[in-house]
Amino acid sequence: MPDTTTPLPAIGSRCWRDQISSETGATVLSLAAETPEDDPMVELAYDEGSSGWWPLSTLVFEQA
């Protein structure tokens, strides 16, 4: 059976919090070690300042 899991983002990756605004970006700071494997938590530094934790499934990542 093929692996259908979402790859974890690299530290420094660019993303958007699609549930808030497609125009507001963020940068990945870290990945939570003790979160569910099916939807890990990602710490983001927001472009508008501050930071916070978001489930991986809610983020849209910049394509390489």
Contact 59, 17 (CB under 8 A): yes
Which strand (E) or helix (H) includes residue 26?
strand 25-31
Give the pTM: 0.77
- Residue 1 pLDDT > 50: no
Provide the pLDDT for residue 2.
45
pLDDT digits (tens, 9 = 90+) for 39-55: 899 999 999 899 999 99
pLDDT digits (tens, 9 = 90+) for 4-16: 566 788 999 999 8
Backbone dihedral region for residue 6 (phi beyond 0: left; psi -120 to 50: alpha; all else: beta): beta
Sort strands 41-46 and 51-55 into parallel, antiparallel or unpaired: antiparallel
Higher pLDDT, 17 or 54: 54
- Residue 36 pLDDT > 70: yes
